[in-house]
A and B are shown apart, each in its own frame.
Chain A
C-alpha cells in the first residue's frame, strides 16, 4: 500500500479518526491505537487549552499521532479564523480541519464561508483541510486558493448512511490534484472500503467507532477495510460486466 502525502507529511495509515462521542477517554485512546491512525481530529471547543493536563489531549500523547484541530462550533469565516489562531497557539500545530456548519441540526458545511476562511487561513500560513459538501466545483476552488486536501462528506455527520454522495465523490476524485479524504457518514467498514476502492486517499471516521459496543475492535475492522480498499484500488479492480463474457465470440474468425 502506497503511503499518503499531505503538505510534505507522510502517512502510512489512510484512516483518520475523530475523538468525539466516546464513552471515556480511555476507550477513545484504545480505539485510536487499534486503528493505527496517525491523524486524529480534536475539537477546539472540547479541549481546555489553558490546562497542560487536559484529559483528552493526555490520552492522545503518542509520537505517531498527529493532532488535527477542528473549528467545530463556529458559524462563519470570521469565527473560524479566530478559532484557528487559538488552536494553533494552544496545540502548536498549523494544521487545521476547517469546518463551518451554521446549521446545528444536520451540521451541513457552509461552502461560501468555508472558501472565504480557507483563503484567509492559507495566507496566514495554515495547512487547511476543509470539510465540505461533495461539490466538485468547490473542491477545485479550494485547491486554487491553496487547500492541501479536501474533505467532502459521504452523508450527514453521524448519520452512518455511507456514501450517499457517491457520484459526486467520483468526480471529485477524478479531478483533484490534492488528496481527497472522505469525511462524515461512513458508518460501516464496507463504506470505508468502498470509498478507498473508488480512489479516495483517506477516510475519516468517528461515530461508527465511538458509538458501538467495542470501539477498539471496530477501529481494527475499519483499519483492515481501509487497507483492503486501498490495495484493491492500487491493484485495479476488474471491470464490472452486466453479462458473462461470451465463450464463442462472434468475431473470433477474424483472427484466424
Chain B
C-alpha cells in the first residue's frame, strides 16, 4: 500500500468538477469550523466560491500561523551543486536539450560556496541539483553532506527521487529533509512536460514520499509547479497526498512550497497563470487545512509580494538565492535554473522581517539531533 492506491481512487476531471461546484455555503461552513478541516473544506476554500472570502481566510490563516509558529520566520538558502541533467522537461532551464555549459561542483568548490553562504548568515541549507545519476548520484550527495555537515544545523535535499535505502544512507550522514515535487498530478499531461529521462516516470515520483517516510526522513516537502495545469486541481491532489502521508508517517513533518513558473532559458510560456490574489487564496487554504505544515516561499516571487505574505501563513523563506551551481562564489555567471525576482540580500530581507514584527530564525535544528 502506498499513495498510488489512494491517488487512483480519484480522477482529475471529477475532482475539477467538484471544486468548481463549491458554493458560498461550503466556504462559510469551512470557515466556521475551529479545527479538523477536511479535504472537502480545502476544496471549498480554494474554489472560485471562496474568492469573496479572501479577507476572512487571510485573518484566519494569520491567526493559526501565529498560534503554531509564533511571530517567527525561518530562513534557508539553496545551494546548487550541479546543473547536469539527463531529463528533458519543458519548463526547466537545466533541461538536457539546452546547449549550455554543465557544471558539477568539486569538494573545493563546494567549500568555497559554503564559505560564501555562511558569510550571509545561513545555518539551514537546501542542496539542489539536476538529475544525472552517474555523476550526481547518491554517492555524490553522501560525500557533499559529509563535507558540509560541520557548517550547517539543518541540511535539506532537492534532487531526483532516490530509493529508501539510499535515503537511509543520507539520513545517517545528517540529511534532515527532502523535497520532491510532483510538478503536476495530472498523469496524462505529465508526459507532455517530461519528455525524456527518468523523470518521465510519473508513478516512480508519486511513490517517493512513501519511501522518504519509510526511511525516517524528518521532513518531506511537497508541491506542484503552479502554472503547468489548473492550480486548484493540482493543489487538491497535493493536499490529498499530505492527508495520506500525515496519517501514515505520523512522526514526519511536512512542508509545502509554491513555485510559480518563472522565465528560464528555452522554456515555454505557462498554460495556467495563477494570479497574486489566487496565490494568497491557495496559501491561506493550505494553512487552514493544516495548522502545522511549513509553508515556504522562494525568491521566485517579488519583494513586494513576499513582504505581504509573511503575515498570511508563510513560515519559511529564502533570500539572496543563486539558482546556478557556483553562483555564490566560484562561477557567478553559470546557467541558472530560473530567474529569481526578489534580489535583496539576506540582511535586507531580515530587516524587512523584523520591521513586520517577526523574529528571524536562522537556526531551528542541531546537527547532533
The residues of A with any CB-CB pair to B shorter than 8 Å are 20-25, 44-49, 73-75, 79, 82-83, 86, 102-105, 158-160, 207, 210-211
Contacts and interface: CB of A to CB of B under 8 A. Distances in A.
Main secondary structure of the interface of A (DSSP, over half): loop
Given A21-B70, A24-B354, A160-B67, A104 B359 contact: no
Interface string B248-271: 001111000000000000000000
Given A21-B72, A73-B369, 15 more contacts: A21-B70, A23-B70, A23-B71, A24-B357, A45-B153, A45-B365, A46-B363, A46-B364, A104-B253, A105-B250, A158-B68, A207-B67, A210-B70, A211-B67, A211-B70
A23 B358 CA distance: 4
A86 B366 CA distance: 10
Nearest to B66: A211
B313 to A, nearest CB: 15
B366 A83 contact: yes
Contacts of A44: 366, 369
Given A104-B251, A104-B292, A79 B369 contact: yes
Contacts of A74: 369
A86 B369 CA distance: 10
A45 B70 contact: no
A84 to B, nearest CB: 10
B246 interface: yes
B352 interface: no
Nearest to A106: B292
Contact of A21 (B69, B252, B357): B69
Contacts of B361: 46
A82 B251 contact: no
Interface string B298-320: 00000000000000000000000
A114 to B, nearest CB: 15
Given A21-B69, A102-B251, A104-B292, A82 B369 contact: yes
Interface residues of B, number: 26
Contacts of B69: 21
A45 B252 CA distance: 17
Contact of B368 (A46, A82, A102): A82
Given A73-B369, A105-B246, A211 B363 contact: no
Contact of A22 (B70, B368, B369): B70
A86 B367 CA distance: 11
Nearest to A49: B366
Contacts of B363: 45-48
B336 to A, nearest CB: 31
Interface in B198-251: 246, 250-251
A133 to B, nearest CB: 16
9 contacts: A20-B72, A23-B70, A23-B359, A45-B363, A45-B369, A48-B363, A73-B365, A79-B369, A103-B251
A45 B292 contact: no
A45 B364 contact: yes
B359 A25 contact: yes
A158 B70 CA distance: 9
